[in-house]
A and B are shown apart, each in its own frame.
Chain A
Amino acid sequence: MRKIINLALAATMTLGLTACSSNSSTPASTDSSSTTTTTPTAETRTLKFAALETAYGADVWKEIGAAFEKATPNVKVEMTIDKNIEDVIGPTMKSGDFPDVIHLAVGQKKGLTETFIKDNNLTDLTDVLSMKIPGESVTVKDKLIPGFTDTTITNPYSDGKTYLMPMFYSPCGLFYNAGLFEQKGWKVPTTWDEMWALGDKAKAEGISLFSYPTTGYFDAFFYALLNEVGGPEFFTKAMNYSEGVWQTPEATQAFDLITKLASYTEKTVPANANKDNFQKNQQLILDNKALFMPNGTWVVGEMAKAPRADGFKWGFTSLPAVKEGGDRYSYTFFEQMWVPAKAQNADLAKQFISFLYSDEAAAIFAKVGAIQPIKGMSEKLDGDNKLFYSIYDNGAKASMGAFATTDSVEGVNISDTTFGTVDSLVTGAKTEQQWIDAITKASDALRGALKK
């Protein structure tokens, strides 16, 4: 996710004029698609597909497009894939011309997907779940790993309807240097108490317990922690801004844990916790200067060329349990694909999405390391990926979802309030109580704006 953001921002800085050039083809196609919708004959129809170019590259989408064209006669896929996709499709959308399918996850800096959710501008995709996958005898629902379409992200209006389809997923948890643990004979902690004990032991050797790339990485961490302290029900309550939820003993426990963790964090981390320097914080793990960091599987590729300590080996674990034998959680990050409400070829878009879950498409995606939440996918993996994706087979529970969608509330940003403050906890600029008060205030402001 961070990688995507970084790519997008790096591209923004170079101020690519690509925005103009790749746009030029859209006006012409508007005519053709509007005429085809009125006369749905054997004529060739055009599906307009827009996607953010991420670490997986643009070629994989072209391959998918070609495969879909082959599988469905009389359909042409017109692709717009760009690192600044918001800037490319934004202007035409303002004038009322929308792509049919958009692959762009929530959590991006420009918040395009969030804006569409908040404006109720999405097409209901629930019926995609019961659609037969082209060329196969099973439905999309049969193939998907259960749980992925029951989250606050995919069903933003909590009405049981799915508006965003889960695409590529990645488990998030704590990354560490497994080599170091072997050398020192340390055990990877399974409870937070063991974690603190290890922290004190490491401190004696001049190693900090914890580092984090930027405070944004606390989302996955915090969501998983909320599940550990209070279970999924409590998590859902917290994500829906229930009144008084932040004053419960469970929430207090979570806040206490993070505050304590802040005191075990490498002191220089806040100085580098921005998108320019966050890799320095990740480097702390590679240099054996800190033991754990919250991250996602993309970090391996991101740090592939970085220097590392002798005997370095990536290790990956879910969060330690709050008490002996308690549940351990690992947050699942996934990207989403959706159809704007005003898309002209919504039916074709749904067909396209269902095609993406076919064995043929999954194989194309897997080639570039993009793993979809399809049953049995994780068994086909090898190397580091096998370790990462098998985390749920090793006893960790999956947690999914995020703060529930609301109508936009000006000046209130719950993610910033909740996660951004961790910097201040580490530097000591704010106290735990100030943090909780701010979250409560933001949560109260958002409750009234919840989507109903």
Chain B
Amino acid sequence: METTKGRGRFIFFCLTPAVILFIIFLIIPTIDVFRMSMYKWGGYTDDKTFVGFQNFTKLFHSDKFYQTFQNSVLLIVIVTIVTFAFSLLFASVLTREKLKGQNLFRIIFYIPNILSIVVISAIFSAIYDPNSGLLNSFTNLFRSATETPTLWLGDQKIVIFSLAGAMIWQAIGYYMVMYMASMANIPDSLYESADLEGASRTTQFFSITIPLIWVNIRTTLTFFIISTINMSFLFVMAMTSGGPDGATEVFLSYMYKEAYTNSSYGYGMAIGVVVFLFSFALAAILNAVTKRDNLEY
């Protein structure tokens, strides 16, 4: 009796610091965002007025917000699908095939992830440059130079895809390494017996590799949502400033603009709340539809 009580107290004291930190740095700020979204507040001084759900009603009547919503969702979809496909492919090639310099490739693929977003943006701004950029110099080989060059960052219809290109390039290495880690755990014997049965590489990939790293894939899908929302803000800030004319405005850049530049901090927090709920819901939906029985090996 004495010992269980003592142990309980011990566990309690061990957990307290972590729980307190968790509450102070995670729970309270989150609740605070929800609270702030109910105020009309400039953000710098201590004058605020409670306005209830007014910020939200305004938000749902704003065309601008729907535009940023569209842009963000488009980015989430494109970046997730393309990055997912490429990193799976590269990961499986690098783990399953006998390539020379595998480690070198692994490092090369991972490097974009180490670079700061500002550096990547500078690289891609140079690539997308209308006159001297890599991309246009290449396309100029196939057409006359007198034509108007493609404006990768200047054409409203293209610019969001240019942004996605940079984001995909940056993300592939990270997810590739994650998939490689779980692929390396799959026992070779499975592939050997599949070989003996005459299964092709593609069949092996879809019937052995994918099902066995499914848990990992589900986790990364949630990562994709969160990181695309966050990363797109950084890329937009560094590359296009939301332009041309708002064509690349995403959730967080719009939130920043409203909260600071437009002196509507409360409204900005309302956007924050919507983004929070949206990403939570999306992650939950993805998690539910990708639920499979756990395979053991």
Contact A268 B55 (CB under 8 A): no
Q: Mark A253-278, 1 if CB is under 8 A from B, else 0.
A: 00000000000000111111111110
| Distance between Cα atoms of A422 and B247 in the complex (Å) | 13
Contacting B258 at CB < 8 Å: which of A86, A93, A273, A411? A411
Whether A270 and B151, one on each chain, are in contact in the complex, defined by CB atoms closer than 8 angstroms, is yes
Kindly identify which residue among B46, B257, B261 contacts A96, using a CB–CB cutoff of 8 Å. Answer: B46
Would you give the shortest CB distance from B127 to chain A, in whole angstroms? Answer: 12
Contact A274:B243 (CB < 8 A) given known A408-B264, A411-B59: yes
Provide 11 A-B residue pairs closer than 8 Å at the C-beta atoms, listed in order of the A residue.
A111-B261, A112-B44, A115-B45, A119-B45, A267-B148, A271-B152, A273-B243, A409-B264, A410-B264, A412-B262, A421-B245
Q: Is A413 in contact with B44, judged by CB distance below 8 angstroms?
A: no
Q: Does B80 contact A (CB under 8 A)?
A: no
Kindly provide the distance from the CB of A371 to the nearest chain B CB, expressed in whole angstroms: 27
Per-residue 0/1 for B12-46: is the Cβ within 8 Å of any A Cβ (1 yes, 0 no)? Answer: 00000000000000000000000000001011111
The answer to whether A427 touches B238, judged by C-beta atoms less than 8 angstroms apart, is no
Complexed CA–CA distance, A342 and B47 (Å)? 12
Chain A 331-346, CB-CB to B under 8 Å as 1, else 0, gives: 0000000001010000
Closest chain A residue to B131 by CB distance?
A268
Q: Cβ of A267 and Cβ of B244 under 8 Å apart?
A: no
Residue of A nearest to B47 (CB): A119
Cβ B263 vs Cβ A271 within 8 A: no
Q: How would residues 249 to 271 of chain B score, 1 for a CB under 8 Å from any chain A CB and 0 otherwise?
A: 00000000110111110110000
Does chain B have a CB within 8 A of A424?
A: yes
Chain A, residues 101-143, CB within 8 Å of chain B (1/0): the string is 0000000011110111011010000000000000000000000
Q: Is the CB of A119 within 8 A of B42?
A: yes
A90: Cβ under 8 A from any B Cβ: yes
Whether, in the assembled complex, B284 has its beta carbon less than 8 Å from a beta carbon of chain A, the answer is: no
CB-CB under 8 A from B243, the residues of chain A are 214-215, 270, 273-274, 420, 423
How far is A342 from B46 in the complex, measured between Cα atoms in Å? 11
A141-182: contact bitstring with B at CB < 8 Å (1 yes, 0 no)? 000000000000000000000000000000000000000000
Residues of B within 8 A of A280 (CB): 129
The closest CB in chain B to the CB of A119 belongs to B42
> Chain B binding site: helix, strand, loop or mixed by DSSP?
loop
B146 to chain A, nearest CB (A): 10
> Given A115-B45, A430-B245, A408–B263 Cβ distance below 8 Å?
yes
- Check A274–B260 contact: CB distance below 8 A: no
| Cβ-defined partner of A121 (8 Å) among B47, B128, B257 | B47
Interface flags, B52-88, vs A, CB<8A=1, else 0 = 0001001100101100000000000000000000000
Q: Is A41 an interface residue (CB 8 A)?
A: no
Number of interface residues of B (CB under 8 A): 48
A416 near B: Cβ within 8 Å?
yes
By a CB distance below 8 angstroms, the chain A residues around B45 are 93-94, 115-116, 119, 121, 340, 342
Q: Which residues of the other chain, B, contact A430 by a CB distance below 8 angstroms?
A: 245
- Whether A424 lies near B258 (C-beta < 8 A) is no
Residue of B nearest to A267 (CB): B148
Complex Cα distance A423/B248, Å?
Answer: 13
Closest to B151 in A: A271
What is the minimal beta-carbon distance from B129 to any residue of chain A, in angstroms?
Answer: 7
CA distance A424 to B159 in the complex (A): 13
Return the chain B residue nearest A419 by Cβ.
Answer: B245
Known: A272-B130, A274-B239, A411-B267. A427 touches B155 (CB 8 A): yes
Q: Give the docked Cα–Cα distance between A277 and B159 (Å).
A: 15
Q: A410-B55, A423-B243 are in contact. Are A109 and B125 (CB under 8 A)?
A: no
Assuming A111-B261, A268-B149, A276-B239, what are 17 further A-B pairs, CB within 8 angstroms?
A111-B260, A114-B263, A121-B45, A267-B149, A268-B130, A270-B155, A273-B244, A276-B238, A340-B45, A409-B264, A411-B58, A411-B262, A412-B262, A420-B245, A427-B154, A427-B155, A427-B244
B153 contacts partner chain A, Cβ-Cβ < 8 Å: yes
Taking the complex as formed, is A39 at the interface, i.e. its CB lies under 8 A from any CB of chain B?
A: no
Query: Across the interface, do B257 and A424 meet the contact criterion of CB distance under 8 Å?
Result: no
Contact of B262 (CB < 8 Å), options: A119, A408, A423 = A408
Verify if A429 is at the interface (C-beta below 8 Å from B).
yes
Interface centre among B58, B128, B263, B267 (most CB of A within 10 A): B263
A418 to B: closest C-beta gap in Å: 11
Those of A7-53 within 8 Å (CB) of chain B: 13
B156 interfacial by beta-carbon distance below 8 Å: yes
Q: Is the CB of A109 within 8 A of B260?
A: yes
A423 B245 Cβ-Cβ under 8 A: yes
**Residues 147-185 of chain B, each 1 if its beta carbon lies under 8 Å from chain A, else 0:** 011011111110000000000000000000000000000
Q: Give B210-265 interface residues, CB cut-off 8 Å to A.
A: 238-241, 243-247, 257-258, 260-264
